[in-house]
Structure 1
């Protein structure tokens, strides 16, 4: 019955794009995520693929931690404040502050600052980015009709993720133009300011209060609101069993992705060599990013149709199974072409699940708690990914070639399937 209702209310994307505020929120998302992709890739290139610096598994794990930890630490604060403050003002202020911090990080790169200081600067930049990401997700139901949220979310998140990949590709191209040392990396990273300014420009064009929250369910003291953000988000999520089940599936995806990313960086830098037209090194990571972009786009196109035809439960379980099989068939050989194939299915499957869970939160959780649930969601997933990377860094060989870790990824997916099926029984009950 749910599938029939969803199909009945689907509208052509052009009708969604006819909504001015939806377009404006899209432009804000695209600008923000383009700048985010450029900054993260530029920083990764500056530290991990810089001929003037060295990188072992622990250094790479530290870099990933610097990129992911802000999403975990800032998440509770972002959630509580997004359910308290005007989200339009948050989007404007966060993007302008992020632009200032990007400039600061650029100065650090140009001056040859050490890697630890660069990681610290990135923590601040990406911490502010968390407010932007959560704000965009929480604001979406205010610019499209409720029955079109799944479709609109799929479209916005998919194209936003592709814009992040495009930003990463721009960073790789700019490094080729300006050089791969500290100076070239600094100039490259500075271009992320463009995305920050554009995102703030599009956000400020909304009317005050247009993006919510409609109601404020917060104590008078701001710090008290911040302190209880995670607890309230957890309670709101627990009252929505489909959200809990989706989080279980996404945790399996995110843990596996963390291990795979660490291995991919090491393999590209120390193990792989050019394979015909395929390149190793930072260019190889660019190829992975391109493959991931295609996978994300395809996932965005097919997910609403798959959910309409088969139902969300079957789609999520199938995505976990497909990726587990892909890691066995394509991940284990650990050749450059097979790793690209594994990356396609890994990120495609992960995106399918993410789109399902995002839409579930937007439909099953009230607006007064939605920001905190998205914050809890980000916090859990990013802590999971950081922990997985840290654990993998202690056992992975320096060149990244580890069949044992691939088997471990497969086991994580199988456990994720079992956990999802157990959690979804609460919905039926």
Structure 2
């Protein structure tokens, strides 16, 4: 062999050895990175499990509800991201509004009528609540899979029905979960603290899931829905694995949402307890922020598409800003709940109601990106903080034997307010934009006057007729 051939062979061997060494080093680096990532994941997982089970939550089973709520909220975030880029932006606005309004009336209003029967219906069955919570998750998993096929096919008569079915199931989950929390309280826990911990897990779930859903949606909105399907399947398993205490109603009674209902027992012998005046006041005040929340969700989704403020931003970006501001407000409300020991809940529910009305008025007078974001921020803060104040009032004034019933029934009333707000948001015209916002202000302000007027009338001493 010639010297040139030998040199080429030697160089080839040298290059080959170099490549082999580089490949082994890269493999070791990847393996090392994988081990580091694995250790970090296991560490984070252990920390999350330790936080969820702290202070007796593992013994009582509250940690299982925390896991469930994490996956539930993560799935809701994935659905919201998918529908924001498909349901509202791939269909002509006029057609979309008509279909959403139709299915809102056919699907959500019957739910609002039937919702007050959910609690008494579940009380008749020894294993109703766990399966009811699981059913809301399983139904959303099924609908998300169907939605993925409908969106990928670009047209389906059941597209809006499935989307609103997911929304209704989410609200039904809120009602059923409210009855589960009081049954899983660790020793020394208050309901406010337990609800706060569950809410924090939901915020973490949404924060973790939203970027993953956004990445999946880059391949198409159907992939973020399939991702949501997996999350709801896991949530279904978590619901079924909830402790049996969720199904127990031993020693409990029924809270009556009418203060003048004096019947002592239900037909099945459960003790009736009229709602305390402070709880009734807090519940009425909370209906205002819930109404505005439902209104903004439906109204803004179309308003910012058809009649956006002059800002040069796309409709998707504007909706993202308003929704992000609402999410920030919700997070601030959860954080502010830690101050409930230092503030008066009955005063706070009035303040958040008035703040909602003021923000709606500013948005109507000065229609622009800043004031719409401020409205979203205020609405999120008011809804979150007002609900914590209601929880604190129930925990303080309602006897323990009827607290589960109080939470379930109060959440049902709030869901009805949300549904009515959403329906009005769909029904209102989009032009001029200030008209719809002015209606929202008038509704919330009028409700505030009603709530405060009722409180003042209840505070007046009643005159007894002369003998």
Q: What is the TM-score of this pair, normalised by structure 2?
A: 0.70
Residue 301 and residue 420 in structure 1: after superposition, are their counterparts in 2 closer, same or farther (change >3 A)?
farther
1:155 corresponds to 2:203: no
Rounded to whole Å, the distance in 2 between the matches of 1:427 and 1:148 is: 33
What are the superposed Cα offsets for residues 92-133 of structure 1, whole Å, 9 maximum, x if unpaired? 444334323332333333344435x22323454444445533
Give 1:337 deviation, angstroms.
1.9
What are the superposed Cα offsets for residues 342-399 of structure 1, whole Å, 9 maximum, x if unpaired? 2101220121111122344456556765555444434433333333443454442346
Rounded to whole Å, the distance in 2 between the matches of 1:362 and 1:169 is: 36
Rounded to whole Å, the distance in 2 between the matches of 1:399 and 1:30 is: 40
Rounded to whole Å, the distance in 1 between the matches of 2:374 and 2:209 is: 22
The match for 2:276 among 237, 240, 257 is 240
- Taking the TM superposition and a 5 Å limit, the aligned residue runs for 1:8-407 are 16=54, 19-20=57-58, 21-50=61-90, 55=95, 57-62=97-102, 68-69=108-109, 72-73=112-113, 75-83=115-123, 84-86=125-127, 87-114=129-156, 117-141=158-182, 142-145=184-187, 147-160=189-202, 163-164=205-206, 171=213, 174-175=216-217, 177-178=218-219, 184-209=220-245, 212-215=248-251, 238-272=274-308, 275=311, 279-305=313-339, 307-361=340-394, 364-365=397-398, 372-398=405-431, 400-402=433-435, 404-407=438-441
Give 1:211 deviation, angstroms.
5.7
Structure with greater Cα Rg: 2
Contact 2:253 / 2:273 at 8 angstroms: preserved in 1?
A: no
Secondary structure of 1:321 counterpart: helix
Rounded to whole Å, the distance in 1 between the matches of 2:333 and 2:430 is: 33
Contact 2:333 / 2:385 at 8 angstroms: preserved in 1?
A: yes
Contact 2:185 / 2:194 at 8 angstroms: preserved in 1?
A: no
Secondary structure of 2:342 counterpart: helix
Contact 1:69 / 1:382 at 8 angstroms: preserved in 2?
A: no
Segment of structure 1 superposing worse, 281-290 or 63-72: 63-72
Rounded to whole Å, the distance in 1 between the matches of 2:461 and 2:72 is: 36
Contact 1:258 / 1:389 at 8 angstroms: preserved in 2?
A: yes
Rounded to whole Å, the distance in 2 between the matches of 1:63 and 1:399 is: 25
Cα RMSD over matched residues?
3.9
Residue 148 and residue 209 in structure 1: after superposition, are their counterparts in 2 closer, same or farther (change >3 A)?
closer
Rounded to whole Å, the distance in 1 between the matches of 2:187 and 2:326 is: 30
Rounded to whole Å, the distance in 2 between the matches of 1:362 and 1:50 is: 46
Rounded to whole Å, the distance in 1 between the matches of 2:137 and 2:457 is: 37
Structure 1: unaligned runs, 5 residues or longer: 1-12, 179-183, 219-229
Give 1:301 deviation, angstroms.
1.3
Residue 263 and residue 66 in structure 1: after superposition, are their counterparts in 2 closer, same or farther (change >3 A)?
same
Give 1:65 deviation, angstroms.
5.5
Give 1:46 deviation, angstroms.
2.7
Contact 1:268 / 1:285 at 8 angstroms: preserved in 2?
A: yes
Secondary structure of 1:308 counterpart: coil
Rounded to whole Å, the distance in 2 between the matches of 1:427 and 1:261 is: 42
Rounded to whole Å, the distance in 2 between the matches of 1:213 and 1:46 is: 43
Contact 1:30 / 1:163 at 8 angstroms: preserved in 2?
A: yes
Give 1:31 deviation, angstroms.
0.5
